[in-house]
C-alpha cells in the first residue's frame, strides 16, 4: 500500500509541485486547503503534469487555527510542511511571525500525536544568514540568523522564529517522529497555474516590461523542481533526520537574469529592461514613494552566499543551472498567458 504524505498549503506554488512529484513517485497525497472551493483549482493544477488517479485527497485546515489538524494527520506517514505566510510590507510584525511560528507548532503537535514518521519543514535561507547581507563570505547551516536584530524585516524574523520554534519543540519531544528542515533561496521555475506564483512574479515583471529598471540585488536561484527533489530526499534519507539543509542554488545578479531573459527568449525578450537602478534611487523611492520596496533595500549589493555542500553530499542533491531555471520560468509564464 502506498505511503501517505500530507503536504500543507496545497494551493501554494511550492506545494503544488510537491504534490505533483510525490504522485509521480507513487505516493498517495493529502493536502490542506483553507476552504473547499480551492480543491478543484489544486486538482486542475496538479493534473496538468500528472494524473492524480484518485490518489489526491484534501483536508480543511488553517495555520492560524487548531481545528482540522487532527483529522488532516490521521493515517499519515510523512509530512511536508510547506505552507507559510508570504513576505510583504506590514506595520505589524506579528502579522507574519505569529502564523509562521504558531502554524509550525500546530503541524508538529498534530504530527507527533499521530505518530508521523518524519516532518520536513520548509524554512528559508535567510534563517541561516548574517543579519546584514553585505557581510562577505559563504555561510552554512550552522549559522542562525539573529531574530532579535532590530534591522531584520518581518519576513526574515518570521522564518527564523518559526524554524527555531520547530527545533525547540522537537528537542523537548520524546517520541518516534523526526524533523528535517529545508532552507531555500529564491524559488523560480515553471508554474502549474497562474494562481499563487510567489517569487516567480519577479520574472513575470521583467518579461512584461513592468520592471523598468534592475536593482543591484543578487539572488540564489533554485528551481522549484529541484527544491521539491531535495524535500523528498530529506523525507526519505535516514541521514536527514534532525538536520537542516540549505537549498539555495546558484548566485545570480538580477541584471544577469535580465540579460538571460532578453537574449534567450527571442521576440518575447524584447521588453526586458537591462537598465540598472542606482542603490540611492531605490532607497529614495522606498522611503518617499513606494514603501513596499523597503523590504528589498537591505539586500542591495548583497555579498553573503550560502553553501549547499551538505545537501549535495548527504542527500546527493544536484540542482540544475540557474540560467535554465530562469528561462524555463519565463517560458512557462508565457505559455500560461501570465505575461
Residue 25 maps to which CATH number? 3.40.50.720
- What are the distances in angstroms from CA 239 to CA 4, 18, 188, 228, 331? 21, 21, 27, 18, 37
Is pLDDT of 293 > 70? no
Percent of the chain with pLDDT over 70: 96
Give me the mean pLDDT over the 42-53 stretch: 96
Lowest mean pLDDT among 148-162, 190-204, 217-231, 294-308: 294-308
Domain that holds residue 273: 4-335
Q: Which of 72-81, 97-106, 154-163, 203-212 has the highest mean pLDDT?
A: 72-81
Residue 292's pLDDT is what? 60
Give me the mean pLDDT over the 272-294 stretch: 82
Give the pTM.
Answer: 0.94
Give me the mean pLDDT over the 277-304 stretch: 79
Lowest mean pLDDT among 23-37, 205-219, 250-264: 205-219
Residue 92's pLDDT is what? 63
C-alpha cell, 164: 527555531
Tell me the average pLDDT of the chain: 92
Residue 154's pLDDT is what? 85
Lowest mean pLDDT among 162-171, 242-251, 281-290: 281-290
Residue 86's pLDDT is what? 55
Is pLDDT of 90 > 70? no
Q: What total number of domains does the chain contain?
A: 1
Residue 88's pLDDT is what? 47
pLDDT band at 7 (very low <50, low <70, confident <90, very high): very high
- What are the distances in angstroms from CA 158 to CA 62, 67, 99, 115, 228? 17, 22, 9, 27, 22
Residue 133's pLDDT is what? 73
User: At 80, is the secondary structure helix, strand, or coil?
Assistant: strand
> Is beta strand 118-122 parallel, antiparallel or unpaired with respect to 78-81?
parallel
> Is beta strand 250-253 parallel, antiparallel or unpaired with respect to 218-223?
antiparallel
Is pLDDT of 4 > 50? yes
Give me the mean pLDDT over the 74-98 stretch: 77
- What are the distances in angstroms from CA 64 to CA 4, 68, 102, 131, 236? 24, 11, 7, 28, 29
Residue 135's pLDDT is what? 76
Give me the mean pLDDT over the 203-220 stretch: 91
Amino acid at each position: 500500500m502506498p505511503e501517505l504524505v500530507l503536504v500543507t498549503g496545497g494551493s501554494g506554488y511550492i506545494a503544488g509541485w510537491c504534490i505533483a512529484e510525490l504522485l509521480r513517485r507513487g505516493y498517495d497525497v493529502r493536502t490542506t486547503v483553507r476552504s473547499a472551493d480551492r480543491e478543484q483549482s489544486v486538482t486542475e493544477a496538479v493534473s496538468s503534469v500528472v494524473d492524480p488517479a484518485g490518489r489526491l485527497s484534501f483536508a480543511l485546515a488553517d495555520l492560524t487555527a487548531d481545528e482540522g489538524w487532527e483529522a488532516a494527520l490521521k493515517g499519515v506517514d510523512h509530512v511536508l510542511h510547506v505552507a507559510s505566510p508570504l513576505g510583504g510590507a506590514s506595520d505589524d510584525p506579528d502579522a507574519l511571525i505569529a502564523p509562521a511560528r504558531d502554524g509550525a507548532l500546530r503541524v508538529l503537535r498534530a504530527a507527533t500525536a499521530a505518530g508521523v514518521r518524519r516532518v520536513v519543514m520548509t524554512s528559508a535561507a535567510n534563517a541561516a544568514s548574517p543579519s546584514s547581507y553585505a557581510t562577505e563570505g559563504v555561510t552554512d547551516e550552522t549559522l542562525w540568523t539573529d531574530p532579535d536584530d532590530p534591522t531584520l524585516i518581518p519576513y526574515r524574523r518570521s522564518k527564523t522564529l518559526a524554524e527555531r520554534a520547530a527545533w525547540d519543540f522537537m528537542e523537548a519531544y520524546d517520541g518516534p517522529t523526526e524533523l528535517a528542515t529545508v532552507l531555500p533561496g529564491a524559488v523560480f521555475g515553471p508554474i502549474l497555474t497562474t494562481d499563487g506564483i510567489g517569487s516567480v512574479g519577479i520574472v513575470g515583471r521583467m518579461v512584461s516590461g513592468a520592471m523598468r529598471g534592475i536593482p543591484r540585488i543578487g539572488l540564489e536561484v533554485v528551481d522549484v523542481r529541484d527544491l521539491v527533489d531535495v524535500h523528498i530526499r530529506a523525507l526519505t534519507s535516514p541521514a536527514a533526520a534532525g538536520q537542516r539543509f540549505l537549498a539555495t542554488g546558484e548566485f545570480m545578479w538580477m541584471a544577469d537574469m535580465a540579460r538571460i531573459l532578453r537574449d534567450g527568449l527571442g521576440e518575447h525578450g524584447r521588453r526586458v529592461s537591462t537598465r540598472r537602478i542606482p542603490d540611492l534611487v531605490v532607497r529614495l523611492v522606498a522611503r518617499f514613494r513606494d514603501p513596499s520596496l523597503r523590504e528589498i533595500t537591505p539586500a542591495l549589493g548583497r555579498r553573503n552566499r550560502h553553501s549547499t555542500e551538505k545537501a549535495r553530499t548527504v542527500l546527493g542533491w544536484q540542482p540544475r543551472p540557474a540560467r535554465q531555471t530562469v528561462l524555463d520560468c519565463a517560458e512557462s509564464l508565457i505559455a500560461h498567458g501570465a505575461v
